[in-house]
Chains A and B, each alone.
Chain A
Amino acid sequence: MSRTTLDLWVGVFVALGIGALIFLAVKVGSFSDVSSRGSTYVLEATFEDVGGLKVRAPVKSAGVLVGRVGSIQLDPKIFRAVVRLNINKEFTFPTDTSASILTSGVLGEQYVGLGAGYKTEVLKDGNVLESTQPAVVLEKLIGQFLTNKTEAPASAPAPVPAQ
């Protein structure tokens, strides 16, 4: 086989390979522009219960991805979970922003939802979110439901004592 045909085939091969890589990068995957260190800042939030929240879970505001969960630790003094959120520098939030742990769908993954407040000052790197809402734990919810059910007949008809 002559040199030029060989070069041509190898060129086609390499171009196809790089094309496949670009396809995987652009069409299949997405650059998580919020995961690199330089372009994010950290917010902290303490939760009573993080439920099944995982590191790298999405942080969303109004349903839009704005960052990812950096780490989850237990504060040994107050026994609350300290969650560090890596937020994309593009997004700033008012100081009275609240964080809650939500679930996408019934069986979906858990994520942190940020509800923006109304103040004009914005949160900076290392700030702590004051108002948080813990994850809804299904077992607790069922337990509540059951206690309500059992209490309800006892209180509602209120057996009227005869005279």
Chain B
Amino acid sequence: MNALAATLRRLGAMTIDGVWRLGFAARFSLAVLRYSGQSFLRLPLTIREIYFSGVLSLLIIVVSGLFVGLVLGLQGYDILRRFGSSDALGIMVALSLLRELGPVVAALLFASRAGSAVTAEIGLMKTTEQLQAMDMMAVNPLARVVAPRFWGGVISMPLLAAMFSAMGIFGGWLIGVVAIGVDDGAFWSQMRAAVDFRYDVLNGVIKSFVFGVAVSWIAVFEGYDCQPTAEGVSRAITRTVVYSALAILALDFVLTSFMFRGI
């Protein structure tokens, strides 16, 4: 009986904790949005964050995009050759990158490369009481620290995803046209005929924007909300990566089911 009560109590505590955190996260995001105007008045802060989360992620995004494209080229050629339609390699590479792989893989990489860094930075600021010190000096940490990091991530993400897709298509072209010898004209013309700007490219950009918002939000919130200890910061970083990955994949399913129903 006692054990049952204890279990129920733990369940109740977990639920209350979860709801409280969710409410806190929602209020936090509203506050970040409200102070975003102030941080935009000092644009260099946001530009600095675009440098840290965008420019410094460039290498991993470009290299992974290239390799994903190379693999797609090899696999796609192997599959399409069975149906005698290896000319459609361009379509397959471009559509799979623009619709799914570009936004999703770029967002996963972005979450682990830039999101974790943002969480670590804010978490460490909190642990060393820098955020409180700012508050004491009448500097709002949400406007000074959190909002620029949030917007830096939101702005960087679609650009990174676009570069990922472009590099992937280049990789597919390298394998398909240069290495295997698919006809260059057929590769590009079939791709252009099948890829629609609004339906495929723009929907991919919308996806990457949504992922950017989700990842940046999770990253800044976990940093701001972490336990101010060394262990707490490390846990917050882990949570950022795990929650971001789950959020990206779940959101991807929801967005895909709205965008590409095939009717």
Contacts and interface: CB of A to CB of B under 8 A. Distances in A.
Interface stretch (B4-12, B160-168, B216-224, B227-235): B160-168
Contact of B159 (A9, A18, A25, A29): A18
Contacts of A122: none
A79 interface: no
A29 B196 contact: yes
A6 B48 contact: yes
B44 A28 contact: no
Contacts of A27: 188, 192
A54 B261 CA distance: 12
Given A29-B197, A30-B193, A30-B196, A10 B50 contact: yes
Interface string A1-15: 101001101101110
Contact of B55 (A9, A18, A20): A9
A21 B47 CA distance: 20
B200 interface: yes
B33 interface: no
A28 B159 contact: no
A105 B162 CA distance: 33
A13 B158 contact: no
Chain A: interface secondary structure? Answer: helix
Nearest to A105: B85
A35 B162 CA distance: 23
B169 interface: yes
Contacts of A30: 192-193, 195-197
A117 interface: no
A92 to B, nearest CB: 24
B247 interface: no
B160 A28 contact: no
Interface in A50-107: 54-56, 107
A10 B55 contact: yes
Contacts of B48: 6
B263 interface: yes
Contact of B196 (A16, A35, A55): A35
B47 A10 contact: yes
Chain B: interface secondary structure? Answer: helix
Contacts of B197: 25, 29-32
A30 B160 CA distance: 21
Nearest to A65: B193
A24 interface: yes
B166 A20 contact: yes
B198 A24 contact: no
Interface string B38-53: 0000001001101100
B43 to A, nearest CB: 10
Contact of B98 (A17, A24, A35): A24
B195 A28 contact: yes
Given A6-B48, A28-B169, A29-B192, 20 more contacts: A1-B51, A9-B55, A10-B51, A13-B159, A16-B159, A18-B159, A20-B162, A20-B165, A20-B167, A23-B166, A24-B166, A27-B188, A28-B94, A28-B195, A29-B201, A30-B195, A31-B197, A31-B198, A32-B197, A32-B198
21 contacts: A6-B48, A6-B51, A10-B50, A13-B51, A13-B54, A13-B55, A16-B58, A17-B158, A17-B162, A20-B159, A20-B167, A21-B201, A24-B98, A27-B188, A28-B191, A28-B192, A28-B201, A29-B197, A32-B199, A55-B263, A107-B83
